[in-house]
Structure 1
């Protein structure tokens, strides 16, 4: 159940260009959040909250790891907060990935940029089920790359950069054949990437997590709707998603 909670900051680190990793503490969210859910973060001085995906959880320490990219004044201010300070969130928000029934299967994780973080916590939970995991992580250039070592501990991991300055050159869709056989996939990233992936893997079952600007974050303002395959139908990314089966929505 989503509710308003105070997050105590334990650690803050810049892990790539304009990319901040923040470890926060909260007993309720650390015990209830599932892979793919997000926190709707309040930044002092700004009316609208920022949706930030959950990258990891340590339920023993009651900590949650979030990653965000500095893209404007709000996230820049959030990045200035230091350990011992706090902020409030609405969470855990949205519907996450379904992970039941993946035992003895091979799963492909495909992430792009700031869409990579939620796939890490998902990968950890899948690994607990002895699922074989293959990851393809895409970034613009070498200075944007993060979490390669973490994903590599889960299984075979491919890094792709647009300009070829690190890992493979190209886009995540260029590497899918190298990944070999897999049963289903999970993906999170910018909309053009998701469109390309779902088109390429149209015969594979999968789930996608959509990145979207949000207003209320609870499904009331209709600011983050997406068309469904049903005629005239729409779903709200903040409350119906952000994770959907590929057949649910029309990209």
Structure 2
């Protein structure tokens, strides 16, 4: 059973169109969370918890940073929380990213709100002396966030669907400009993940799946995904959200 924790809101900021950055305080989560894990947050008045990936941890100050988009009543209410308020949560939940400490170069490919967990991973990789290159995909200029954060980690390409900022197109549009790398990690919408895994099929890769969850502990079967062509499946909340690129069928 996932651990139940109380998170105290420290700050709330709008960092892009309908995109919220929230800093929370909880010593246990700040010290134990690994890149790729998420928090399953309870929002008052809503039955289902909201799974939100962890974008950063600060062990010293016992802080956790999450980013989320306002897409419905639940996230709208969550965005209205103010410093000092408490949030009931389960976590840190899920299986996070694993990496080979002997790797020389890693490619991070993120789309929209799938970008935050990759920032947490990128920081960890850089701390361990691994070179990082990032491709960040957004709908338009007004949706762009964390560009400066990623540029501190390594070379970063920003792509927008409409071309209002950075390169025009999709994250796959700039992959021919990327120098050789050992492994890739990607998180974002399913269509993006399909395109990325297809184009980078010759590389070792890992994908993190974003999915609406029910219980968050593997009991309700609301977030299953096919794992083979014979009826096998994986539970995103329990077996994931991170999988080897060839471990599930998108």
Question: Which TM-score tier does this pair reach, normalised by the shorter chain?
Answer: over 0.9
- In the TM superposition, residue 216 of structure 1 has moved relative to its aligned partner by 0.3
Structure 1 position 106 matched with structure 2 position 87: no
* Mapped contact 2:2–2:217 kept (Cα < 8 A): no
Q: Distance in 2 between matches of 1:108 and 1:2?
A: 31
> TM-score when scaled to structure 2?
0.98
Deviations 1:215-239 (A, max 9, x none): 0000000000000136221000000
Structure 2 SS opposite 1:239: helix
Runs of at least 4 residues off by over 6 Å:
none
Can you give the 5+ residue segments of structure 2 that lack an aligned partner in the other structure? none
Can you give the 5+ residue segments of structure 1 that lack an aligned partner in the other structure? none
* Mapped contact 1:104–1:130 kept (Cα < 8 A): no
| Matched residue, 1:241 | 240
CA RMSD between the two structures: 0.9
Q: Distance in 2 between matches of 1:226 and 1:26?
A: 32
Output aligned runs, 1:104-143, within 5 Å. 104-143=103-142
* Mapped contact 1:30–1:62 kept (Cα < 8 A): yes
* Mapped contact 2:208–2:241 kept (Cα < 8 A): yes
- In the TM superposition, residue 104 of structure 1 has moved relative to its aligned partner by 4.5
Equivalences, count: 250
Deviations 1:49-80 (A, max 9, x none): 00000000000110000000000000000000
- In the TM superposition, residue 2 of structure 1 has moved relative to its aligned partner by 2.9
> TM-score when scaled to structure 1?
0.98
Output aligned runs, 1:162-177, within 5 Å. 162-177=161-176
Q: Distance in 2 between matches of 1:248 and 1:216?
A: 23
Structure 1 SS opposite 2:162: coil
Q: Distance in 2 between matches of 1:144 and 1:42?
A: 26
Q: Distance in 1 between matches of 2:34 and 2:220?
A: 24
Structure 2 SS opposite 1:155: coil
